[in-house]
Structure 1
Amino acid sequence: MPTPVRPPRRHGAELERALLQAAREELAAVGYANLTMEGVAARAHTGKQVLYRRWHSRADLVIAAVRAQTGSIADHVPDTGTLRGDVLGVLAWAARRWHDFGPDTIHGVLADLPDLDPRTFVMMEDVMTTILKRAAARGEIATADLEPRVVTLPSTLIRHEMLLTTTPVTEQTCIDIVDHVFLPLVHAVAGPARGRPPG
C-alpha cells in the first residue's frame, strides 16, 4: 500500500493565504450556517488549532477571507472632497460587501457579532474619524471630535438595513442615511462650520 503523500509544510504568508482560500472554498461549498473551523482546517490540510491561533471565531475567519479577496475599506478610505461624498462612498462600499458575502453570510456574521474581534469595529471608527477630520480641515464642520456613537452611526444603520432584508441595500437607502440622519446630526453636534452662521 503506497504511503500517503503529505502536502508540503507552509509558513507565514503562504500558510495564511492557503487558510483564507480554504475558508472561501468551504463557505461557497457549505454556506455560513454549516461552516466550521474543523471543515476549513480539513480543506486546508491542517489542524484547527492553526486557524484558532489567527482567528478566534468563524466570523473573524470569514471576514478576513473576504477582505483578502476584495480589500479593506481601511486601505481605500474615500476622499471625494466632501463629507457627504466620503460617507456615501463608505456606505456604497458596505453595499458592495453585501454582494461579496451574500445575504446568508451577512445574516450569519451579524448574528455572530458578539464573537467578532473588537478591532473589526475600531477599524470602521478609524475610517469615519479620518473622513470627519478631513471635513473639519476643509471647514465643512467645526470639529471632528464627536462621540463614537455619532462617528459610527452610518455603519451601524447600514448593518441594521442588512440584517432586516434579504435584498441588496439600495443607493437611495444610503442617500437617506447620509442626508436625513447623519449629516443633520453631525452639523447639530459639531457646531457650525467656519464661515457659516449658526442654524
Structure 2
Amino acid sequence: MGRRRGEALEAAILEAAWDELSERGYANLTVDSVAQRAGTSKPVLYRRWADKQELVEAAVVRRDAAQPVTPADTGSLRGDLIATLTELNERGPYLAQLSLLLAGYFAETETSFAELRRTVLAGRRSGSDEIMERAVERGELDPAKLTPRIAALPFDLLRGEAMMTLRPVAPEVIEEIVDTVFLPLVR
C-alpha cells in the first residue's frame, strides 16, 4: 500500500479518532493512540489539528456529515416530527452514548453539547428548523409561540429519554412527546 496523503490520510485519522473515542471515551483517548491506530505519526496529526480537542471535534463533525438525518416531509407537523424523531431513535442511543463519551471533553473545554452541536452544524440550518419553517408556511403552528427552546423541545426530550434509559425510546413515548407536550405549546 502506498503512502496516504491529503483526504485519504485525513479520513483515516478521523476514523481512527472516532474509533478511539467510541471505544475509550475522550478522557482515555490520546493523540498517540489515534496516530498509532491510523498508521501515522503524531506530527502528522499536529499539522492538521492543534490539539486533542480539535481532533475530536473534527471526528465528530465528520461522523455527523457521514450519517445525516434528513428531516421528514410528510405534509404535516405531527407526521414530520414523529418520522424524524423515529429515525433519530432508530440509530440507537447514539446521542446519549456520545454525550457520555465526551464528558471529559466538555469538562476540559468548559463547553456543552449545545456548543458542540453548533460546531457540527457550522452555520447550516438544523432539521428542526426546516420542520418548523414548513409548519409555519402551512399554517400549522403559531410562529409567535415558537421560541428556540420550544422548537428544540421534542428533540431535547428524545435525547433526554435516551440518556436516562440508554435504550431506544418506545414509539408511544415519541407520540406522547409530540402530541401531549409539543403540539399544545405551539397551536
TM-score (norm 2): 0.73
In structure 1, the partner of 2:130 is: 130
CA contact under 8 A between 2:35 and 2:41: conserved in structure 1?
A: yes
Q: Once the two structures are superposed, what CA deviation does each residue of 1:134-154 show, in whole Å capped at 9, x if it has no partner? A: 112122124377211111111
SS at match of 2:102: helix
Deviations, residues 157-176 of structure 1 (Å, cap 9, x unaligned)? 12211221222222222111
CA–CA distance in structure 1, aligned partners of residues 130 and 65 of structure 2: 22
Runs of 4+ deviating beyond 6 Å: 121-125
Q: Map 1:36-185 to 2 at 5 A.
A: 36-44=30-38, 45-47=40-42, 48-50=45-47, 52=49, 56-57=53-54, 60-69=57-66, 71-73=67-69, 76-98=70-92, 101=94, 104-109=97-102, 112-113=105-106, 114=111, 116=116, 118-120=118-120, 126-143=126-143, 146-185=146-185
Distance 1:54 1:175 in 2: 42
Identity %: 31
- The CA deviation at 1:14 is 2.3
Q: Which consecutive unaligned segments of at least 5 residues does structure 2 have?
A: none
Contact 1:136/1:144 (<8 A) preserved: no
State the secondary structure of the residue aligned to 1:56: helix
* Gap change, CA 1:121 and 1:68, over 3 Å in 2: closer
> Cα RMSD over matched residues?
3.4
Equivalent pair of 1:20/1:65 in contact (CA under 8 Å)? yes
Quick check: which one's helix share is greater?
A: 2
**In structure 2, do the counterparts of structure 1 residues 52 and 169 end up closer, same or farther at CA, with 3 Å as the change threshold?**
farther
SS of residue matched to 2:72: coil
Give 1:123 deviation, angstroms: 7.0
The 8 Å contact of residues 125 and 152 in structure 1, kept in 2 or not, is answered as: no
Extract unaligned runs of 5+ from structure 1: 188-199
Is the alpha carbon distance of 1:55 and 1:97 closer, same or farther for their aligned partners in structure 2, counting shifts above 3 Å? farther
**Contact between 2:30 and 2:52, CA under 8 Å: does it hold in 1?**
no
Partner Cα separation in structure 1 for residue 101 and residue 47 of structure 2: 23
Q: Please, what TM-score do these two structures have when normalized by structure 1? A: 0.69
Question: Which of 13, 16, 29 in structure 1 is aligned with 2:10?
Answer: 16
Q: Which has the higher contact order (CA 8 A, sep 6+)?
A: 2
Separation of aligned partners in 1, 2:103 and 2:87: 17
- Decide which structure has the larger Cα Rg and report it: 1
Structure 2 CA distance for aligned equivalents of residues 79 and 19 of structure 1: 36
Tell me which of 32, 38, 41 is aligned to 2:25: 32
